[in-house]
Chain A
């Protein structure tokens, strides 16, 4: 079956968007590279690496089996296959992002030279399936910050580059629109995906890898995106993309097509030769059917029943075998041999990166910009503590000085030592995940390290925490009427500030260990609750705890925080006693605050200075712990 001649009317409406304005990609020099893969095997261990030490079971699963393909420079290759066929793994291996503990065999070559890890990193860009960018930055800002992180050039040349990328991506009409995400209004899905591609294009990679770029886009947007990729390939960039259920109109846009079935090739070669190839094998595509769907289905084993499984797996095997014997496959091998034996002028662009100080300065600037535009996050950061204080005020009103007020003070201090830390934790759980996901991507792209990210993140949080705590502490302290000395107020302020920051750090650390924010929230809440109960001594006295629990309480921040709060409030406090002749049963248990301290916190006054120091060290230690968690985490990820 030959593709028949058709009149031109039908194509008119597809090719509309394909026209090119023709001007050259001036400041944008692409170092053209052909990508070849020869005899690639890839297997991952069945058990995660940390379990291996225990079980000694080194079983592994083959993901890719003898994959050989060649993508000439400046062409667009689509990798297809049903789910589980190894599409994404192929991209991962190409991008040098294989799973830890996995085995890779075979050669990956750029212009016929075997790739070193650094070589691929410096000459390729990887666009992940999910767009992970700061929602409140504009397109221009997003790309400019990427250029600040990756390029060591003059400001004007960066701007020129970014402008070129924006023009080429067809985003000039939304240059100053916010990127947005599911919760924030901004770009459409297709436009946001383009910005994700732009992030990788800023430093002019030779190879662009994309994992399912059309997933989640409607048919128009998907079509336009592939058209765009085709155009980018035209500038000399070699593009490989995986795609799931592509529509038939995309068929015409791909230069090369690879179909995988359970890790082996069913087809890999020019798109134009594909229909012919399957026809010659006796599997013609119906005239009005989508050949991409049709051939992917051909290469899929139908597991629904035993009989269909047997039937389909036989035919899939024969398809794989006949492809390996086909002319197309030997042509691919010839191409690879040609490149291997050809002249080896392999210039790898090792870009000089901006220095660390500059990068960190830009990171803080970016976080501040994002936060300043996010009104709900701003309100959250600034008002939550105050609202909590106001809520307390509504109940306590003004604390008196009678005997009942003793109970009220204890209750109040309990609330004050639990509130700020919880609020800090909630802030982290609500606002940090977006940053974290972006950080994971950017650290894999090699923009910066975890500790740089965490330092800048904390640096942008601290001013807000300080401001929010000032408002909260000032209002609460004086409205409710605690011990009216300015020095005591200052201690109160720093104590609640440090608790607030500790909460934020606990939240961040937990999010580094647990991916799901809801689960992280529950675990944090449990830890903080136990700390409040066990170590504060405001509900259960620490002194009468059994030894083990008593020792445990020294690990918890509330041990120190509550002693500070209590001494701050009670030492030197005078309380009223019922007058002589008061009704029967009125007692005077605590004429002085110091008596309370003596009973419940016998060493608190003595340890005041120590507790102050511990509070600072505790917060710093938490910060160090968080950095440690993220260093390990990103190492495992890479």
Chain B
């Protein structure tokens, strides 16, 4: 039974010679173990070595493999076999676990900095702003990530070359798209995600399940592209779940993991021969990947099956160990397992004791100088500038969402205006006016809060991933976010106040109107800042929405309409100082009521002897809304806004923003 494929067409390392000698990379994993503590103790996690073995979950067990420039390695295995963990550990992106064994790059221990420079990691999901075009997305990353010594043209050149390398030229001006925005297809979006990582021209490219969620054609096409990338002298390492047989044919090297053990590591084309040799041939008309993954997976469903499959796995592991020692006779280079068919003879230049090794050290650096570090102020301003341009672009291009928000504001305004249409000047109209200002602060800000939290939550993923990739730091992001929302916020506010003011027939004086606008603006803006602070502090959307809802209700209850502030009992009376709605409510009432006269009908005059509420000052007094002056209201609101903004920044900086799945 011979497994014949493209032997003549595709030599294994065709561009090895072309690629610069110094950019050659060999990834070598030796006896790698990885364990994570069972109990969640984030602070102690680094010291897992001190924890007894029983308290740890072993994820990787004695993994060894080698992969070189020009090769594509696929890591296969059933779910829970440790594929992604292995990828993370090699890429030095693992969290909270303990590593034993070595991962060597050109025979040097890999460090975080080194990996950051020479490798890129493409995650399983695409985190991209949906409204930007493909070119803009890449250009944005290029501006942040490529060294500032690069000219604009050079950056554009780099973007263009990545676009053509990944076959994205035909869609470079269409929107990236996402769940709600139409744009690129799923396969193209995945390519954009890869392109973002390719901008720095990494020597090693890691991809976590690049084909999941793609249809069979697109998946095949993507892996063909990856294989071309590998042939141009890069190292491509990817995990994959249930590859179809046409994809399997494209891999150079393969590693099958089961329960953290390596069941097979070597040339992909030799896999069938190897398993046939040890007595497990693949039946015809069967996808070999499926067959061998199933063969090596422990079936936990039934007790008896579990025992049988465990036994089989142990046997396979033993056979594999024997095969390795046979082939390498003591030297642990599993990539060379070819079992008789095609033994590699070269690659000795990479062997551990070769003298050329030390020279390779200097070759680790990337072809251009260090990426900008976030500390110096010039690059901070640069980051801010790029971020704010992107934020505006993204907002404006996603105009449908802006339109919805504008309609929301206008609808609320007209609705409230109609309900409170043409307020009169009788006794009842006093209560109606107070009610209007209460509703102004209670309805729209609430919607703004929910919108803000939802939007922040949707962007958190992108923010977190980009921070992790070192594109920018918290400060520039925060300020660009605050400033980019301001103009839109102002526009919505105008839509919210103007129709309501005239429909309700409030005092037609410019000063009064502007005052009304100012305090409504501040109330709504406080709500927005509060929502931002809460969603920066709490990464779970449901919890954040609940807390915001609760706080808002508290503030609303202590604003002075539902309960007279004088009758709040002592336990909650202090709340009125923190309630921004109280300050804005009070200010809005004062602005409107000063200078108003109210009439009475005859029966009332008879009953009371005089008109009980004859003018605005008395009205304010009867609701106890004259305790603080307008100036005090303004300073209080201003202070509260600053406080919320400060809190947002601090939470953003110090609370782990990792999105919860």
Q: Show the binding face of A for B, using Cβ within 8 Å.
A: 3-4, 6-7, 9-11, 13, 16-17, 82-83, 218-220, 245, 247-249, 251, 275, 285-291, 293-294, 297, 300, 302, 304, 391, 394-400, 402-405, 407-408, 410-412, 414-415, 529-530, 533-534, 538-541, 543-546, 549, 585, 587, 589, 595, 599-600
Contacts and interface: CB of A to CB of B under 8 A. Distances in A.
5 contacts: A249-B286, A300-B217, A407-B567, A411-B561, A587-B622
Contact of A220 (B281, B299, B422, B622): B299
Contacts of B244: 290, 293
Contact of B279 (A9, A286, A529): A9
B424 interface: yes
Q: Which 10 A-B pairs have the closest CB atoms?
A: A411-B562, A539-B435, A397-B569, A289-B245, A404-B564, A290-B287, A248-B286, A407-B564, A248-B287, A589-B612
A395 B419 contact: no
A6 B439 contact: no
Interface string B536-578: 0000000000000000010001100111101111011000000
Interface in B598-650: 607-608, 612-613, 618, 621-624
Interface in B51-94: 78-79
Nearest to B4: A287
A389 B158 CA distance: 64
Interface string B210-242: 000001110001000000000000000000001
A408 B563 contact: yes
Interface string B268-288: 000010000001111111111
Given A302-B217, A394-B571, A249 B291 contact: yes
A396 B564 CA distance: 10
B655 interface: no
B245 A290 contact: yes
Given A394-B572, A543-B428, A287 B284 contact: yes
Contacts of B291: 248-249
Given A539-B435, A540-B436, A533 B419 contact: yes
Contacts of A589: 608, 612-613, 622
B284 A4 contact: yes
Nearest to A598: B603
Given A289-B245, A549-B419, A247 B216 contact: no
Interface centre among B299, B424, B436, B562 (most CB of A within 10 A): B562
A539 B439 contact: yes
Contacts of A400: 567
Interface residues of B, number: 74
Given A414-B562, A540-B435, A589-B622, A599 B427 contact: yes
A408 B560 CA distance: 9
B474 interface: no
B245 A286 contact: yes
Task: Point out which of A302, A397, A405 has the most chain B C-beta atoms below 10 A from its C-beta.
Answer: A397
Contacts of A16: 305, 308
A249 B290 contact: yes
A530 B561 CA distance: 18
Nearest to A7: B281
Nearest to A1: B284
B284 A3 contact: yes
Nearest to A407: B564
B439 to A, nearest CB: 6
Contact of B284 (A6, A13, A17, A219): A6
B593 interface: no
A297 B216 contact: yes
A249 B421 CA distance: 72
B428 A289 contact: no
B418 interface: yes
A279 B172 CA distance: 42
B285 A275 contact: yes
Contacts of A533: 416, 419, 439
A329 to B, nearest CB: 23
B361 interface: no
Contact of B431 (A275, A404, A541, A587): A541
A405 B623 CA distance: 11
A396 B563 contact: yes
B95 interface: no
Given A288-B288, A411-B561, 7 more contacts: A6-B281, A247-B287, A289-B287, A541-B431, A544-B429, A546-B421, A587-B612
B246 interface: yes
Contacts, number: 175
A379 B286 CA distance: 52
A274 B608 CA distance: 99
B283 A290 contact: no
Interface in B296-323: 297, 299, 301, 305, 308, 312
A124 to B, nearest CB: 30
Output the residue of B244, B272, B284 with the most chain A CB within 10 A. B284
Contacts of B419: 530, 533-534, 540, 545, 549
A304 B308 CA distance: 46
B167 to A, nearest CB: 10
A492 B416 CA distance: 29
A595 B415 CA distance: 30
A293 B283 contact: no
B443 A251 contact: no
B543 to A, nearest CB: 15
Nearest to A293: B244
Contact of B282 (A288, A595, A600): A288
B563 A411 contact: yes
B295 interface: yes
B157 interface: no
A248 B244 CA distance: 10
B117 to A, nearest CB: 36
Contacts of A290: 244-245, 285-287, 290
A72 B571 CA distance: 78
A80 to B, nearest CB: 12
A541 B428 contact: yes
Contacts of A218: 78-79
Contact of B290 (A11, A219, A407, A587): A219
A233 B182 CA distance: 44
A403 B415 CA distance: 32
A529 B280 CA distance: 69
Contacts of A541: 428, 431-432
B621 A585 contact: yes
B428 A9 contact: no
A599 B285 contact: no
Nearest to A247: B290
Contacts of B217: 297, 300, 302, 304
Given A219-B290, A220-B294, A589-B612, A289 B285 contact: yes
B121 interface: no
Given A289-B285, A300-B217, A599-B427, A249 B564 contact: no
Contacts of B561: 407, 411
A16 B301 CA distance: 13
B438 interface: yes
A293 B286 contact: no
Contact of B562 (A6, A412, A587): A412
Nearest to A13: B295
Contact of A285 (B285, B432, B438): B285
A65 to B, nearest CB: 23
A404 B566 CA distance: 8
Centre residue among A11, A411, A415 by max chain B CB count within 10 A: A411
A16 B246 CA distance: 28
B3 interface: yes
B558 A395 contact: yes
- Residue among B272, B426, B428 with the most chain A CB within 10 A? B428
A404 B561 CA distance: 11
Contacts of B557: 395
B353 to A, nearest CB: 39
B502 to A, nearest CB: 15
B572 A395 contact: yes
B472 interface: no
